[in-house]
């Protein structure tokens, strides 16, 4: 019998009719219709019970673990108000609000995916890296400029961001008209939150002078006994926390473009308060950053001249940024001009260049060569 000449439903009905009309044994008819005896008996049983011969869903008739529609709607409502939040944050917020029957974070995430709130291809881009974290608040701050963007009035906005590494507390989001003037912004932040032990930044010209000497910002930090640290070149994962902070800022605060810098300042101020005070953070067991952060006990001060140890060998940098010591002449930085630095010999015809309590360079005296210009606290 040509099975392919009829639809599936017609074939099944014809098989049942052939059995009822005794056109052959069940085994022979199953072979003729190209089905197993088990399948043949299944269709005969359904026909005898008056059921349709169409395929039935294999889903269970009852799904006691299925999330209620009302709960799914709560999850979607929170997501609509916070487009950057995933399943873990939404679950934490709803449970903190006293909602019952909230499913697991994974189920919340699956609901968001099923409803089109999460792009699977976009989520695959965010690969987790091995994390590092300082043990206490203010041991390390991270800073960077989020990429500039055009405001409604045609001017450009350069948001300067500062983040505490341990608590993820947003210390500052300041819209600036250019990627400069970071010293003034940090003085305001220091006056409000105190001084950190170190500040991590990228190698942007505002922060790092690794290509041509030290920056005023690096010297400013050392004057306050704050160690300047820079991430590896072409490796943004070193500043992963502030990069993630920027992504959240873009998703939650920059869906609409502010008209001008004043509007951007209001927008950032309001968003930063919500982020610190209300936003649950995955790295903080779903607590908001404000519940973890504590200001530094080191208050901001005006730097004073540094007193080196008695007997230290001091050499003055000339107006062109060169350090001359006997036959040695190496370029350090014009930032250090007219500044006395300590020269400390090592064991292999080299010497360290020290500013205050920071090693800022290693010089090969035998070859009259600057080995490196790395800043490290002694």
Which pLDDT value is given to residue 238?
Answer: 64
DSSP state of 204: -
Which pLDDT value is given to residue 325?
Answer: 83
Which pLDDT value is given to residue 43?
Answer: 82
CA-CA distance, 107 to 20, in Å (whole number)? 49
Task: Write the pLDDT tens digit of every residue in 80-138.
Answer: 878 778 888 888 888 888 888 888 888 888 888 887 777 766 555 555 544 567 789 99
Judged against a pLDDT cut of 60, whether residue 187 lies above it is answered with yes
Which pLDDT value is given to residue 2?
Answer: 43
Percentage of residues of the chain with pLDDT beyond 90: 39
257-284 mean pLDDT: 90
Cβ neighbourhood burial of 44 (10 Å; 0-12, 13-18, 19+): middle
- For the beta carbon of residue 354, count every other beta carbon within 10 angstroms: 19
Which pLDDT value is given to residue 124?
Answer: 54
- For the beta carbon of residue 172, count every other beta carbon within 10 angstroms: 19
CA-CA distance, 171 to 192, in Å (whole number)? 9
Which pLDDT value is given to residue 114?
Answer: 81
227-241 mean pLDDT: 73
216-223 and 182-193 helices, crossing angle to 10°: 20
Task: Choose among 178, 90, 192, 199: nearest CA to 134.
Answer: 199
Q: Specify the residue for token string 């290509």.
A: 211
CA-CA distance, 29 to 109, in Å (whole number)? 50
- For the beta carbon of residue 350, count every other beta carbon within 10 angstroms: 16
pTM above threshold 0.75: no
Q: Please tell me the least confidently modeled range out of 68-72, 164-168, 210-214, 284-288.
A: 210-214
pLDDT band at 237 (very low <50, low <70, confident <90, very high): low
Contact 377, 363 (CB under 8 A): no
User: 141-291 has which fold?
Assistant: Nucleotidyltransferase; domain 5 (3.30.420)
163 vs 239, which has greater pLDDT?
A: 163
146 phi/psi in degrees, rounded to 5: -70, 145
Pairing mode of beta strands 227-230, 198-201? parallel
Q: Please tell me the least confidently modeled range out of 197-211, 222-236, 253-267, 310-324.
A: 197-211
> In this structure, what token pair is assigned to residue 53?
């011969």
DSSP state of 287: B
Contact 332, 321 (CB under 8 A): yes
- For the beta carbon of residue 195, count every other beta carbon within 10 angstroms: 22
Give 47-114 as a DSSP string.
Answer: HHTT---SPPP-S-S--TTSPPHHHHHHHHHHHHH-TT--HHHHHHHHHHTT------HHHHHHHHHH
Please name the helix (run of DSSP H) or strand (run of DSSP E) that holds residue 371, with its range, or none.
strand 369-372
Task: Write the pLDDT tens digit of every residue in 49-85.
Answer: 877 777 766 666 555 567 788 888 888 888 887 877 8
Residue environment code for 113-126, b if the CB has 16+ CB neighbours within 10 A, otherwise e? eeeebbeeeeeeee
* In the chain, domain spans: 3-48, 69-125, 141-291, 313-377
- Cβ contacts of 345 within 8 Å, gap of 6 or more: 351, 352
């Amino acid at each position: 019998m040509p099975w392919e000449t009829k639809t599936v439903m017609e074939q099944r009905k014809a098989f049942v009719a052939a059995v009822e009309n005794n056109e052959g044994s069940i085994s022979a008819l199953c072979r003729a219709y190209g089905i197993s005896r088990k399948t043949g008996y299944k269709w005969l049983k359904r026909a005898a019970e008056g059921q349709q011969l169409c395929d039935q869903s294999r889903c269970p008739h009852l799904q006691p673990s299925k999330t209620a529609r009302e709960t799914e709607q709560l999850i979607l409502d929170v997501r609509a108000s916070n487009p950057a939040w995933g399943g873990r944050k939404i679950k934490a917020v709803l449970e903190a609000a006293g909602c019952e029957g909230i499913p697991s974070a994974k189920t919340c995430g699956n609901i968001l995916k099923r409803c089109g709130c999460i792009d699977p291809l976009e989520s695959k881009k965010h690969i987790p890296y091995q994390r590092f974290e300082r043990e206490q608040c203010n041991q390390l701050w991270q800073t960077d400029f989020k990429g500039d963007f055009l405001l409604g009035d045609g001017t450009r906005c350069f948001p300067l961001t500062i983040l505490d590494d341990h608590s993820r507390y947003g210390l500052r989001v300041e819209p600036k008209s250019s990627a400069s003037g970071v010293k003034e912004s940090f003085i305001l932040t220091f006056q409000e939150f105190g001084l950190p032990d170190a500040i991590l930044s990228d190698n942007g010209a505002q922060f790092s002078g690794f290509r041509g000497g030290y920056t005023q910002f690096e010297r400013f930090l050392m004057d306050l006994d704050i160690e300047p640290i820079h991430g590896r070149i072409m490796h943004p994962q070193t500043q992963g926390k502030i990069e993630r902070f920027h992504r959240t800022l873009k998703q939650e605060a920059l869906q609409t473009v502010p008209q001008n810098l004043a509007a951007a300042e209001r927008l950032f101020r309001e968003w930063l308060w919500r982020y610190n005070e209300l936003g649950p953070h995955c790295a903080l067991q779903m607590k908001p950053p404000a519940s973890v952060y504590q200001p530094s006990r080191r208050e901001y001060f005006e730097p004073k001249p540094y007193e080196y140890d008695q007997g230290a060998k001091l050499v003055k940098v000339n107006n062109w940024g060169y350090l001359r010591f006997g036959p040695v002449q190496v370029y350090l930085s014009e930032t250090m001009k007219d500044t006395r630095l300590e020269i400390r010999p090592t064991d292999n015809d080299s010497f360290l260049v020290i500013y205050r309590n920071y090693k800022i360079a290693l010089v090969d005296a035998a070859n009259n060569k600057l080995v490196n210009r790395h800043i490290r606290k002694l």
